[in-house]
Amino acid sequence: MKKKIGITGEAGFVGYHLSQTLALREEMELVPFKRSYFEDATAMDTFVQACDVVVHLAAMNRHPDPQVIYDTNVALVTGLVNACERTGATPHILYSSSSQETKDNLYGKSKKEGKVRLAAWAEATGGRFTSLTIPNVFGPFGKPNYNSVVATFCHKVAHNETPTIINDSEVGLIYINDLVAHFVAVITGEATPKALGEHSFELEIAPDHHVTVSRILALLQGYKEHYMGQGVFPNLQHAFEKALFNTFRCYVPTAHYPVKFTKHTDPRGSFVEIARTETPGQFSFSTTVPGITRGNHFHTRKAERFAVISGKALIQLRKIGTDKVIDYHLDGNEPAYVDMPIWHTHNIKNIGNEELITLFWINEPYDPTDADTYFEDV
């Protein structure tokens, strides 16, 4: 039996990453959710009855009037509890709380109140409730000026805008992939949250990284200069810098690619430098006959470059969970490359009449036991 999991707020930053990660697990099945269910008691009732687990992520973080934030967040929790009480459903409810819950602001108070109401529901009904206290989160696809300073800086640096440091303090951060792993561990029972009662629990998630705002900006500006400007891959051995780089790559404008190589030609022939890296990796090449497509897969952590040196190719990318396909046409007469952002399924097709030759670089050698390669057609 597959475990059925519903996520309120699945279209948000954390919701997107959690839903896409759970979709990769064969033992789990996602129950669709729409924001409109909060306004439709029948739909909400059907939703909670279908779920073994409900991850409650839906919340308002920003609004000119803090009272609106409080009222909205409490109402969302109340709507979820009411549906469970009307139907007698007792799913395991995971709740996204915040370190702000101990502070004197209405957002924090709304998270605290939601936690109290869900714990009371669990103790009264015999359901199960786990609150996850989440630190500052960063990762691909966060909204600038909304989700995190990292999202804001990535967007501004990649788009030639000037970021501003208001307070150069040290911030505690967790990468979205690592946060999702905590949620998965609670869902599967691998985590050991602290008991708040017989049926309610709490998991306080600590930041994995502590870094100053100026350090974040300096790293991103380095990626802009060396990676976007010169095509050089930075050192990816440090966990935070690898996570930050993969985040930054997802903000690089699509018009940046394909990037043409500098081709050196003399009477002997030609020479092209494919990649400079400050990190280990694996180089490989492929030949592809006309009409054949390779790839149609995506990665969640790997950095990869496709370099066409002979023949004509169509490289396509599509962000997982979306329909928009990005097309890049490359011709070996003017060698060029396209780098593959994480969570984008991609392929390469020989659209010419001759053999296509492609060189590849990826930042970690292929490991069949941990391939980080998931197949999905573009």
> Does the pLDDT at position 100 exceed 90?
no
> Does the pLDDT at position 1 exceed 90?
no
For 171-194, the pLDDT digits (tens) are 999 999 999 999 999 999 999 999
Tokens (6 digits) for 123: 């103790």
Mean pLDDT taken over the chain: 95
Calpha distance 89→62 (Å, rounded): 31
Calpha distance 306→316 (Å, rounded): 11
CATH class of 254-375: mainly beta
Calpha distance 276→234 (Å, rounded): 9
Residues of the chain with CATH 2.60.120.10: 254-375
> Does the pLDDT at position 147 exceed 90?
no
> Does the pLDDT at position 53 exceed 90?
yes
> Does the pLDDT at position 328 exceed 90?
yes
Q: Following DSSP, what letter does each residue of 13-76 receive, concatenated?
A: HHHHHHHHHHTT-TTEEEEP--GGGGG-HHHHHHHHHH-SEEEE-------SSHHHHHHHHHHH
The pLDDT, as a whole number, for residue 146 is 86
At residue 208 the predicted structure's pLDDT band, cuts being 50, 70 and 90, is very high
> Does the pLDDT at position 336 exceed 90?
yes
For 233-262, the pLDDT digits (tens) are 999 999 999 999 999 999 999 999 999 999
Residues of the chain with CATH 3.40.50.720: 3-139+172-209
CATH class of 3-139+172-209: alpha beta
Tokens (6 digits) for 258: 């394909």
For 31-42, the pLDDT digits (tens) are 999 999 999 999
> Does the pLDDT at position 159 exceed 90?
yes
Mean pLDDT over residues 117-130, rounded? 96
At residue 270 the predicted structure's pLDDT band, cuts being 50, 70 and 90, is confident
The pLDDT, as a whole number, for residue 351 is 98
139-173 b/e (C-beta count within 10 Å ≥ 16 → b)? bbbbebeebbbbbbbbbbbbeeeebeeeeeeebeb
Q: Following DSSP, what letter does each residue of 136-201 receive, concatenated?
A: EEE-TTPPTTTT-HHHHHHHHHHTT-----S---EEEEEEHHHHHHHHHHHHHT-S-PEESSSSEE
> Does the pLDDT at position 99 exceed 90?
no
Calpha distance 2→345 (Å, rounded): 25
